[in-house]
């Protein structure tokens, strides 16, 4: 059961000695760092991950959460065997926290304390890290410098960071629902990849290589095999994309990747050996409160780097560029 706490007492002015400013309402001020911690804990689903994000200790994050709960008068998060869930108070607080943080960031940018083109926080999937040189080059060409902070993570993590306000824009692979609101998106063919010397016999149990995060390609692989009633076994699992690619290259098994990201010497499995996968969606998403118009040149450059399919194929669709 969520606990209710008594709020800290309000400070009261002596009307005979002081005149209240117009903005004074006798309310408690909430530090934005407490709100950022709260949003991070919710989005990342972990006090430990939130601590790593802010370079804090886990006890420090716990202390910040307790301070916020004391200010708001009750529990915001409750721990269960299935994970952490928001209480009714926490669900309401999360909506206001995101709005307050967005306004805070807009104020900082509007007053010139932070220029979004002088410190853009960009996220790209692990499997796209080989494009880093092109990405840095694009930023230098479009902004006159290379001041960009880059986070490499899986697409699910990048989307969480975008929603939490810790990234400004990100290139991701996702399902259509998660890609809603993308500034630009396009379809990407998913294919089975293997080492050149890896041979899969007909009817053989498929040795799968996947991520513990159960990414879109991993889900599509198992769904396709289930539909085809083809037995499979996960023989290698790693969070790091380069480790999974190395396992494929070592002929440990096969995995699913976007066609445009298959690195040599890996090869695409011939049609008919494994079930068809269909396309996924790739695109560029931005923070909800970010003015994407100011980043138009950067977004166009990123699209040119990551959208490797021919536009004449009709696969590209853009919503705001």
- Specify the pLDDT at position 117: 46
Spatial separation of the C-alpha atoms in residues 43 and 37, rounded to whole Å: 10
- Specify the pLDDT at position 173: 94
Fold matches, 116-181+280-318 and 188-278:
yes
- Kindly report the three-state secondary structure assignment for every residue of 33-100: HHHHHHHHHHHHCCHHHHHHHHCCCHHHHHHHHHHHHHHHCECCEEEECCEEEECHHHHHHHHHHHHH
188-278 topology per CATH: D-Maltodextrin-Binding Protein; domain 2 (3.40.190)
pLDDT digits (tens, 9 = 90+) for 154-177: 898 899 888 877 788 999 999 888
Tokens of 297: 């040149």
- Specify the pLDDT at position 220: 94
Spatial separation of the C-alpha atoms in residues 101 and 91, rounded to whole Å: 16
- Specify the pLDDT at position 108: 76
pLDDT digits (tens, 9 = 90+) for 2-18: 666 655 544 444 555 55
**CATH top-level class for 32-110?**
mainly alpha
**CATH dotted code for 116-181+280-318:** 3.40.190.10
Question: Which ranges of the chain have pLDDT less than 50?
Answer: 9-13, 117-118, 310-321
- Residue spans per domain, the chain: 32-110, 116-181+280-318, 188-278
- Specify the pLDDT at position 9: 46
- Specify the pLDDT at position 17: 52
- Specify the pLDDT at position 312: 30
Q: Phi, psi (5° rounding) for residue 137? A: -60, -40
319 DSSP 8-state letter: S
């Amino acid at each position: 059961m969520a606990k209710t706490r008594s709020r800290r007492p309000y400070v009261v002015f002596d009307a005979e000695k002081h005149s209240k400013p117009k903005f004074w309402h006798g309310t408690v001020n909430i530090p934005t760092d407490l709100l950022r911690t709260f949003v991070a804990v919710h989005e990342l689903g972990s006090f430990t991950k939130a601590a790593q994000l802010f370079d804090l200790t886990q006890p420090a994050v716990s202390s910040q959460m307790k301070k916020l709960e004391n200010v708001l008068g009750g529990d915001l998060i409750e721990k269960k065997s299935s994970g952490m869930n928001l209480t009714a108070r926490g669900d309401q607080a999360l909506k206001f926290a995101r709005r307050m943080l967005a306004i805070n960031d807009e104020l900082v940018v509007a007053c010139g304390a932070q220029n979004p083109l002088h410190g853009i926080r960009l996220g790209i999937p692990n499997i796209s890290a080989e494009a880093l040189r092109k990405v840095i080059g694009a930023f230098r060409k479009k902004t006159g410098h290379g001041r960009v902070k880059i986070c490499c993570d899986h697409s699910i993590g990048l989307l969480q960071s975008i929603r939490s306000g810790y990234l400004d824009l990100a290139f991701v692979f996702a399902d259509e629902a998660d890609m809603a609101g993308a500034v630009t998106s396009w379809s990407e063919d998913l294919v089975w990849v293997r080492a050149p010397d890896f041979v899969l016999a007909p009817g053989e149990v498929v040795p799968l290589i996947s991520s513990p995060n159960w990414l879109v390609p991993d889900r599509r692989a198992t769904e396709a095999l289930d539909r085809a009633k083809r037995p499979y076994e996960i023989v290698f699992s790693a969070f790091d994309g380069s480790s999974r690619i190395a396992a494929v290259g070592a002929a440990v098994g096969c995995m699913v990747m976007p066609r445009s990201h298959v690195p040599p010497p890996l090869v695409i499995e011939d049609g008919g050996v494994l079930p068809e996968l269909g396309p996924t969606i790739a695109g560029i998403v931005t923070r909800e409160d970010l003015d994407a118009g100011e980043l138009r040149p950067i977004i166009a450059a990123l699209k040119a780097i990551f959208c490797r399919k021919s536009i004449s194929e009709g696969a590209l669709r853009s919503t705001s560029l």
